[in-house]
A and B are shown apart, each in its own frame.
Chain A
């Protein structure tokens, strides 16, 4: 019996069955020489399924388990997808990061489910963000986003995402004392958040990691939008329109003043230059057309020879091997992960903002990746949550999922109030 007195037997069986069906598809349609090639993948997937199901059964008390099951379903599907690229094998690196993501999900859930505790630790969040920024400035190579420790490469900018989402959530939750700066009533927290955003903005610009910028901008924008309608924000519609116009102008000016390589990206006709700048996108689009609706079969893809086939253009790689319909499941996975907190709504402003921030990060990342690789918008090197290979991004996606779970299973307990309550009772008793 689970802690919330519900049974999850049918879901457990369905998750196992789904993975079984996918593995059967690999068995019957896959590209392998010996049937034994599939065995490690099968064992890995089912053992992770069963072990995780048993672990969460005894895990810390929580009100929701559906997020865990959905995450497990997605991650193992992702392992199956990744293992099939260009021939059936076993993506052990991806598997390990998936396990890490599951662990991080639980850790982040425990950290964020009591919003009062997060609030109390707000200054530490800024410290962590500062530390990450310093790490990017000093530990990574010149103008790059990677820290290389032996065989492992860490991308600190990825870890800024959950921290920034938490910052957004903490900054809009309470009634803050306001000051009038110019014509706006602003609180200290909002100023701090805006400064943090601009520091990240400048840093990303400097590092030429423009792909992550929209992610932060979306989280920040959502938080600000919530904030504008929040108590004591007395913006009129005129002011809002003025702000929007200002934003549009800023974006236009940025686009005009962007460095040459960015501008080249913005206006490139990929079919003019199929072997140069347009190489990846052209190959990705061709792969989608070649795979058509039902795919060539797992392992038969040729896109894997193109750089970043398992990260930036992973959507096309899956399209080629599994077909367009199955590739659409990726979107279905992420969207249904975001629908769960809508069914089981958060009970506090903090969690609501946090869930919204996570949703913004997921949707924007997925949109940038899929539309970018298909040449609808400029191509940026971001990953699809859960599906793309990449240690840092996978771990961060696990963390963000933990935050989604915290929104559905929050805890409202405050130590100082408990003391106050006891004191009052004693007083009344004495009276």
Chain B
């Protein structure tokens, strides 16, 4: 028997198996279920990888934000800075909210780029001060600078390197 005929016979046998499989109803269930389960496993593996990426991303963010956080001078509370723009004010929509009447609704913005923080005054009524100097438009701030919004004072503080 030549090899070609052997192939042909194999194919015939294969076709026969396929025909039998297709007329077997649970086979379509198995095939669909396998595809669905495989996709689910795959996507959930990606979600778990995304969570790992998130941890790496947090480390990187620490670096981008120069490990900075705000400390409330009155209470000693630590306020994280988790975005590149942080709006400080009395309004409920402000990122960092101080319910203090001397603070405007949207008082100031803290921005970071290249690891450097700036404070931008948003035409607040009582003004923004960095180490006692009034902020005209914007000013760079660094570790242990005291920023005062109206009567509320906070300190930009660099955490220890992790």
Partner-B contacts on A (CB < 8 A): 4-6, 8, 10-11, 14-15, 17-18, 21-22, 24-25, 28-29, 35, 63-66, 69-70, 73, 77, 116, 173, 175, 229-232, 234, 293-295, 297, 322-323, 325-326, 329, 332-333, 336, 339-340, 343-345, 347-349, 408-410, 412-414, 417-418, 420-421, 424
Contacts and interface: CB of A to CB of B under 8 A. Distances in A.
B93 A230 contact: yes
Given A29-B22, A420-B140, A231 B106 contact: yes
Contact of A231 (B32, B43, B94): B94
Given A24-B34, A231-B105, 12 more contacts: A22-B38, A29-B31, A35-B14, A66-B53, A73-B39, A294-B28, A297-B28, A325-B32, A343-B54, A347-B84, A410-B84, A412-B114
B27 A343 contact: no
A11 B84 contact: no
20 contacts: A8-B49, A11-B45, A14-B38, A18-B38, A18-B42, A22-B38, A29-B22, A175-B106, A230-B93, A231-B94, A234-B105, A297-B22, A326-B32, A326-B35, A326-B36, A343-B50, A347-B82, A347-B83, A349-B85, A412-B112
B49 A15 contact: no
Contacts of B42: 11, 14-15, 17-18, 73
A17 B29 CA distance: 19
Interface of B: 11, 14, 18, 21-22, 27-29, 31-36, 38-43, 45-47, 49-54, 56-57, 60-61, 64, 82-85, 87, 89, 91, 93-94, 105-106, 109, 112-114, 116, 118, 120, 122, 140
Contact of B38 (A21, A173, A230): A21
Contact of B39 (A4, A28, A332, A421): A332
A417 B66 CA distance: 15
A66 B46 contact: yes
Contact of A25 (B31, B52, B61, B114): B31
